[in-house]
Structure 1
Amino acid sequence: MVTASAPFPAARFRRMRAHDSRRRLMRENTLTVDDFIWPVFIRDGENDETPIASMPGVSRLTVDRVVRAAEEAASLGIPAICLFPYTAAEDRTEDCAMAWSPDNLTNRAIRAIKAEVPEIAIMTDVALDPYNANGHDGFVVDGEIVNDATVEALVKMTLAQAEAGADIIGPSDMMDGRIGAMRMALEQAGHQNVTILSYSAKYASGFYGPFRDAVGASAALKGDKKTYQMDPGNSDEALRLVARDLAEGADMVMVKPGMPYLDICRRVKDELQVPTYAYQVSGEYAMLQGAAQNGWLDGPKVMLESLLCFKRAGCDGILTYFAPEAARALKAGA
């Protein structure tokens, strides 16, 4: 409902825009460093990093470099980082057994960060695609991504990450029933305080390409993910999926991708009134960075504008590769 206002000239909307002080007083949404989760890519090795060509400014970091990145994030006030492992083709198998190994790359990084930067929250990714020879988030049997066997594997992966010290579990697989199974397993194992941020409304999107390059999944993927990720044409289904994950024990929910699905963010927040997050995915980041590097856009300006739109759409936080740059900009008073 639009609030009635006096007719012109008694009402001049430009009056409240005339000076910075008044614009600040009437601002409806604000962006702060508390809104950010920083996704970072990790790789094997020591004291090294590998730039990701399709994501300008983003690199895969060895565990020791990730610890330094966590220190940087904490110093900027960023509340959490999210770990994504790069796995070489020769280390991927059909049984995905490395996914729940206590000594896999993610779990080693968790322990290293917790030892030196205990104040920062660590979020992890729960899906089989970084370890799967087929590039899928679940087991592939006779060409089908099977659900229930995958959930059993995801539970083992969840428990291994919790044992390593993860604070936030991020199931990104979109299998049915996985949140309930994970929550029960965490409770039974004594991990009552481990939070689940569920990728509840994750769409089968074309915006994930650079991410798949970053984790080494592009060449491995056989087929597509349309049988388990959402159809981009659906909106009501997203609400049903979010409601289901909450009923099974999710603490927070996520919409992914971000900017192309702001309407979903708004619906989730308005209709369910729960902690709502969005992932400004690799394709969104790459488009903005590419345009900025070519001088077609003002990079710092569109970065902050793109992040603010998530708050306007009702999000409580954003996973964004811009997190450190945005944090520095906000600290400088941008």
Structure 2
Amino acid sequence: MLFFKSKIFHHRPGAPPKVLALYSDPSIGDIRLRPYLDALQARGIIADYVAVDRNMNPMGPPRSFDFTHIWCQRNVSTAQFRFLNRHASNPIVYDLDDLLSSPPRYVMKTRQRTLTRMTRCIELAKAVTTPSEELARSLRQDIAAFSGDALILKNGCADGEFAIPSRPKQQIIWTSGYIPLFSRESPYFVENLAALANKMDHEVILIGTFEQGIDALFDKVRLVPHLDFRSYREFLRFHAGALAIAPLPTTLPPDQQRYFDAKSDIKLVDYLGSGIIPIYSSAVPFVNSDLAVPTLAAASGDDIIAILRHCIDNYASVADDVRAHLRNGALRARSYWELSKTLDHLFL
């Protein structure tokens, strides 16, 4: 069956450019590949693209497809790896958005097979895209084959023009991520957050996976177990005017902390691009971001609570400060339309 599937995709060099996108999984593909391909197509840089899953099945109606370029990502599957090796002479772009070469064991176990495939994809690629230079630097330390420069493709948003509303909503949004690790640094963070939210009569919206029973701490709470990426961004825009928190570990042992330091600033893009003010840990991905608002960076869990309280009490002035900070055009530059221009030379 794999033989049949591979035959519906044919490499046809020349213009116009058409891209075969090899998804690592639907969520990551929709974050790191599809929006840029949509923008490239809308701008007339590429004529068409088809996304395929880990089994090389089209993610849409089955159809044959003549491609000029391949864009793959992360830990490619066995079927994808075989396909890439059969098309080693074709133009290949490889996206890495995480330090998969050396994650802490409690996050995931990197098998030698994954490292072997990552190395091979880097060798095959005419360009390696990453969301940050910090990630690229760490990957170069881990993978000898990655000796050149990365093409920095930052995480983006739909238009970069979504304004922070003048009037607040009495809501605090928390999208899950590495909560047990952050809790080691701030063991009473959740209890302190609940105390503040309850006192200020704010609804807390928990998106993703949280410890069972956490909702019992809050007087007003909503659990949203899962949203696909497009639905998540749309959901956030419906809640423009809310506040959000983005805790991330900052004090782990160096061999573990480097994994989190190589993370991207996507939560700042998620929230600011949706009209939501984020209070975030003073972690490398956030403080080094061109979207960082220094007054919203927190040195600890207690600091997050203190800044959150300040934002609740002084929403209008905080919103003015965030708007003033974003007048530098940093958010506008994060539109997929603008970011996709970084890729033009790969397909022309």
Flag whether TM exceeds 0.5 (same fold). no
TM-score using structure 1 length: 0.30
TM-score using structure 2 length: 0.29
